[in-house]
Amino acid sequence: MRFCKNLFAILAILSLIGLFGNHQAMAKDTLKIGSFLAVTGPASFLGDPELKTLQMYIEEINANGGVDGHKIEFVHYDTKGKAKEAKNFVNRLIKKDKVDVIIGGTTSGNSLAVIDIVQKAEVPFISLAGSIKIVEPVKKWVFKTPHTDKMAAEKIFTDMKKRGIKKVALITGNGGFDKSGRAQCLALAPEYGIEIVADEKYDNADTDMTTQLTKIRATDAQAIVNFGFGKAPAIVAKNIKQLGIKLPVYESHGVASKKFIELAGDAANGIRLPAAALIVADQLPADDPQKKVLLSYKKKFEEKYGPVSTFGGHAYDALFITVDAVKRAGTIDRAKIRDEIEKTKGFVGTGGIFNMSPTDHLGLSLDAFKMIEIENGNWKLLY
């Protein structure tokens, strides 16, 4: 018993020493990439492929001798999609792990929550979340790779203009992504000469949207736009078919995964949506500059983990924008890496071709989005 007590005391002291000791016994030249992703929790379908992509490519880079001789050390924390955790982990990445670059922030809420910290600590941060608020107005140390909700709305309205649609019914959920998408649609519609004749809302946990759709049927709308992700858009699609509404239906890039087609079944056919080229990589013309990158990413990911999603692609883009920036900078100095990320030009990624500038920390133009129609349960590239 005495022995046990002594052992316990020694362990306690050792753990305290560990707590206050210095953790910087690392080789000097490693490039430390920190990441905080929602690998579990409600946004796990976004965070999980992101983490797998990062791990897979960092392993490969290190096996090939690293970036300009700098091995990459990868530190990752799971935020479970909670903004509070995201904040704690970014603090930890910066102040304890002392990382050189941060890639992460799966959801817009998580990314927005940490902007102040990275700005203050002056660490380059590439966000993997959708909201345009992350890079507009431009923040010195913050970049992002996914397309914005604003671009999705623009792409949808451009397509409508082509088809001569003037009156639109909007139906959205109550999540952060939905709300932000709705706000962008409402703000942009006048620019495209489009009138929003109905603005219906549902709860993302609802199992039936016929009430809202019946109201939409009573208006003179020529098309329906649904901004959302998860299972709710699939229910909307099904209900539209059940009610016999024949209007064209548009979804957002939030449903650009096979899961949506599985859930909506027959009702998915004919729906149009803007999405990154990854899901239609095979259908791209052979001279498309993105085709090679997309097919290679798709092959690697599918060999190791199964069906690819556009979300993992965002992580691929962020990682290689960083790697290129480090190569150009020739050093792992944070400020120099930041400057080089900002100078990214003509980088061919999975999300499109990135051309960043001091006034544009995303660097994607509208043609990075493809307009896609669902046909016989499969994606069909329109243009």
Task: Name which of 267, 264, 233 is nearest 251 in CA terms.
Answer: 233
When binding is defined by CB under 8 A, the residue of 96, 140, 304, 380 that contacts another protein is: 96
Q: Is the dihedral of CA 274, 180, 222, 157 positive or negative?
A: negative
Number of C-beta neighbours around residue 257 at 10 A: 21
Instruction: Report if residue 175 touches another protein, rule: CB under 8 A.
Output: yes
Question: Taking the complex as a whole, how short is the minimal distance between the CB of residue 17 and another protein, in angstroms?
Answer: 12
Instruction: Report if residue 167 touches another protein, rule: CB under 8 A.
Output: no
201 phi and psi angles, rounded to 5 deg: -130, 150
Instruction: Report if residue 213 touches another protein, rule: CB under 8 A.
Output: no
Contact window for another protein (CB under 8 A) among 107-115, 216-224, 225-233, 321-329: 107-115
Given the complex with another protein, which of 56 and 223 has the nearer CB atom? 56
Question: Taking the complex as a whole, how short is the minimal distance between the CB of residue 23 and another protein, in angstroms?
Answer: 9
Could you tell me where the DSSP H helices lie in the chain?
Answer: 2-20, 44-63, 83-95, 108-121, 149-163, 176-188, 210-217, 232-242, 258-264, 291-304, 310-329, 334-342
Q: Cα separation of 255 and 350, whole Å?
A: 17
In sequence order, which residues have a C-beta less than 8 Å from that of residue 211 and are 6 or more positions away? Answer: none
**Interface size with another protein, residues (CB under 8 A):** 22
When binding is defined by CB under 8 A, the residue of 115, 118, 126, 372 that contacts another protein is: 115
Peptide bond into 307 cis (omega under 30): no
Contact window for another protein (CB under 8 A) among 24-32, 109-117, 345-353, 361-369: 109-117
When binding is defined by CB under 8 A, the residue of 52, 71, 87, 231 that contacts another protein is: 87
Instruction: Report if residue 91 touches another protein, rule: CB under 8 A.
Output: yes
Given the complex with another protein, which of 114 and 368 has the nearer CB atom? 114
- SS3 letters for 308-327? CCHHHHHHHHHHHHHHHHHH
Stretch 21-80 residues interacting with another protein (CB under 8 A):
77
Given the complex with another protein, which of 202 and 316 has the nearer CB atom? 202
Stretch 337-366 residues interacting with another protein (CB under 8 A):
none
Instruction: Report if residue 92 touches another protein, rule: CB under 8 A.
Output: yes
Instruction: Report if residue 116 touches another protein, rule: CB under 8 A.
Output: yes
Q: Is the dihedral of CA 117, 50, 383, 375 positive or negative?
A: negative
Question: Taking the complex as a whole, how short is the minimal distance between the CB of residue 273 and another protein, in angstroms?
Answer: 24
Stretch 277-316 residues interacting with another protein (CB under 8 A):
none
Question: Taking the complex as a whole, how short is the minimal distance between the CB of residue 240 and another protein, in angstroms?
Answer: 27
Contact window for another protein (CB under 8 A) among 15-23, 190-198, 257-265, 286-294: 15-23
In sequence order, which residues have a C-beta less than 8 Å from that of residue 151 and are 6 or more positions away? Answer: 274, 364, 366, 368, 369
Rg value, the chain, Cα: 23
Q: Cα separation of 301 and 282, whole Å?
A: 15
Would strands 347-348 and 223-227 be described as parallel, antiparallel, or unpaired?
Answer: unpaired
Binding region for another protein (CB under 8 A): 15, 19-20, 77, 82-84, 87-88, 91-92, 95-96, 108-109, 112-113, 115-116, 175-176, 179
